[in-house]
Amino acid sequence: MIPGPTPVPENVLNCMSKHPIGHRSGDFQELVEKTTKQLKWLHQTNGEVLTITGSGTAAMEAGIINTLSKGDEVICGDNGKFGERWVKVSKAYGLNVKVIKADWGQPLDPNQFKKLLEEDINKNIKAVIMTHSETSTGVINDLQAINHEVKNHGKAIMIADCVTSLGACNIPMDEWGIDVIASGSQKGYMIPPGLSFVAMSKKAWDANAVSNLPKFYLDLKLYLKTVNKNSNPFTPAINLYFALEESLTMMQKEGLNNIFARHARHRNATQAGMKAMGFNLFAKEGFGSPAITAVQPEDIDAESIRKSIKNDYDILLAGGQDHLKGKIFRIGHLGFVNDRDIISVVSALESTLDKMGKLKSPVGQGIAKTISVLNNES
C-alpha cells in the first residue's frame, strides 16, 4: 500500500514471463502499434505518446530538455519533494527559474502563477513546470486552473508531472490543452518500474524545433521518428511492453470514468477512516490526491506505526520524506487496488493503534466509517 511500485495484477505478471521477442521484428511492431493507440486513449489525446525505457524522472527530464533552451525563463511550482526535483533539473540545464512555493501539505496557488504570467508583458516565460499529484505530501494541485493561466499567457507551455495522477483522475490532455504530460509505469499503469511516457502537443513540438539543450538518449525527435514506424530508437524493455499491453487492456475494459470514480471512492473512504480514528490528514482539506493519503499522527512517531503494521500484518506503508520523516505516513491507493485492500489497511491500522495504546476512538469506529463510505459511494 505504497504509491509505487503499486500492486501488479497476476495476469500482467504472467505476461512478463514470455520469452523476449526481437525489438526490430514485425511482432514487436504490432505490439508498439497497439500500445501506442491505448496510450493515446489513456491520455485522451490525438497526439503521439512516446515510450521511454526509464523512470518517470526520465520522462519529465525529456519533457524539459526537448522543449527549452539554455537561459530560458521558466516557472517551477514547488510544494513537495518532486516539485523540488524539477527546480533542480531546470537549474542543472541552465534555465532561469522562478519558483512558486507552497508549504508541504498545501496546494500551489493558481493566482500566483496568474500574477507572474500576467506581469510577463514581453513573453519571456517559456514554460511552467509543475507536479500534478505531489506524492510526497498527498496533495493534488489544480492543474486545470494553472494550465488555464498558461494558456492565457499565450507563449509559455505547460510541462506536467502526472506520474501519480495519470490513470487515477481525469486529465483530458487535448481538451485542457496541456503541452507535455510525463508519467511512469509503476503507478496507475499497474506494471513494474522501467517504462515512462511523454505526451507532447503541437505547441510542444514547435518548441522542440528551436530547443538547444543537450540530449541524446532522451531526444524525443528520435522517439517520434520511430514510433511512426511502430518502433523504438533504442533497445526497449520488451517484457514490460507485454505487461503494458495487458494492463492497458484491463483499463480499457474498466473504462476511464469507472477508473477515476474508483480512485476517488478509495481516497474518500481512506480519508474518512483516518479521521474517524482521530488522525489528522496532512494535505489541505479538499486537495487530497486520489492516489495517496498522507496521515499526520499527533503524539506518536509515524515510523513506529509503519514498523508495527509491517511486522504484524505484512502491510507496507510509505513514510515521510526529508523533514517529514517520522511525522507522517502515506497510504497508497493507486492502480490495482480494490475495496478489500482499503478495508484491510484501515482495520490493520486501527488494530495497530489499539495495540500500541494510541487509539483515540472506540475500536471499530474507523473501519465502520470506511465501510460506510465504500458502500454509499458504490
Domains defined along the chain, listed by start = 10-254 (3.40.640.10), 256-377 (3.90.1150.10)
Confidence of residue 150 (pLDDT cuts 50, 70, 90): very high
Confidence of residue 360 (pLDDT cuts 50, 70, 90): confident
Q: Given a cut of 90, is residue 158 above it in pLDDT?
A: yes
Mean pLDDT in residue range 188-193: 98
Which residue stretches of the chain are H helix? 10-15, 26-43, 56-65, 81-92, 110-119, 143-153, 173-176, 202-208, 220-227, 238-254, 256-276, 302-313, 339-355, 365-377
Listed residue (76, 25, 11, 81) closest to 245, CA to CA: 11
Confidence of residue 299 (pLDDT cuts 50, 70, 90): confident
The one-letter amino acid code at 197 reads F
**Euclidean distance between the first and final Cα of the chain, in Å?**
21
Respond yes or no on whether the N-terminal peptide bond of residue 5 is cis (omega within 30° of 0): yes
Confidence of residue 378 (pLDDT cuts 50, 70, 90): confident
pLDDT per residue as tens digits for the range 6-64: 999 999 999 999 999 999 999 999 999 999 999 999 999 999 999 999 999 999 999 99
pLDDT recorded at residue 289: 98
Q: Return d(Cα 177, Cα 156) in angstroms, integer.
A: 12
Q: Return d(Cα 33, Cα 20) in angstroms, integer.
A: 17
Q: Return d(Cα 96, Cα 276) in angstroms, integer.
A: 46
Task: Decide: 128 and 69 in contact? Cβ < 8 Å.
Answer: no
pLDDT recorded at residue 198: 98
Q: Return d(Cα 65, Cα 76) in angstroms, integer.
A: 14
pLDDT per residue as tens digits for the range 121-149: 999 999 999 999 999 999 999 999 999 99
7/361: higher pLDDT = 7
Could you tell me the pTM of the whole model?
Answer: 0.97
pLDDT per residue as tens digits for the range 66-121: 999 999 999 999 999 999 999 999 999 999 999 999 999 999 999 999 999 999 99
Q: Given a cut of 90, is residue 241 above it in pLDDT?
A: yes
